[in-house]
A and B are shown apart, each in its own frame.
Chain A
Amino acid sequence: DAKTTQPPSMDCAEGRAANLPCNHSTISGNEYVYWYRQIHSQGPQYIIHGLKNNETNEMASLIITEDRKSSTLILPHATLRDTAVYYCIVLNSGGSNYKLTFGKGTLLTVNP
Chain B
Amino acid sequence: GAVVSQHPSRVICKSGTSVKIECRSLDFQATTMFWYRQFPKQSLMLMATSNEGSKATYEQGVEKDKFLINHASLTLSTLTVTSAHPEDSSFYICSAGLGVLGQGIYGYTFGSGTRLTVV
Contact = CB atoms under 8 A, between A and B. Distances in A.
Contacts, number: 51
Interface stretch (B13-21, B71-79, B82-90, B93-101): B93-101
A41 interface: yes
A2 B88 CA distance: 30
B61 interface: no
Contact of B108 (A41, A42, A46): A46
A94 to B, nearest CB: 4
B48 to A, nearest CB: 10
Interface in A28-45: 38, 41-45
B11 interface: no
Contact of A93 (B95, B106, B110): B106
Contact of B49 (A49, A99, A102): A99
Contacts of B97: 98
Given A41-B115, A43-B6, A101 B107 contact: no
Contacts of B101: 98
Interface residues of B, number: 28
A106 to B, nearest CB: 11
B67 interface: no
A100 B91 contact: no
Contacts of A104: 43
Contact of B93 (A43, A98, A103): A43
A93 B99 contact: yes
A41 B4 CA distance: 16
B44 A102 contact: yes
A106 B45 CA distance: 16
Nearest to A34: B108
Contacts of A101: 46
Find the residue from A41, A44, A46 having the highest chain B CB count within 10 A. A44
Interface in B32-65: 32, 34, 36, 43-46, 49
Interface of A: 38, 41-46, 49, 87, 93-94, 98-105
Interface of B: 4, 6, 32, 34, 36, 43-46, 49, 91, 93, 95, 97, 99, 101, 103-113, 115
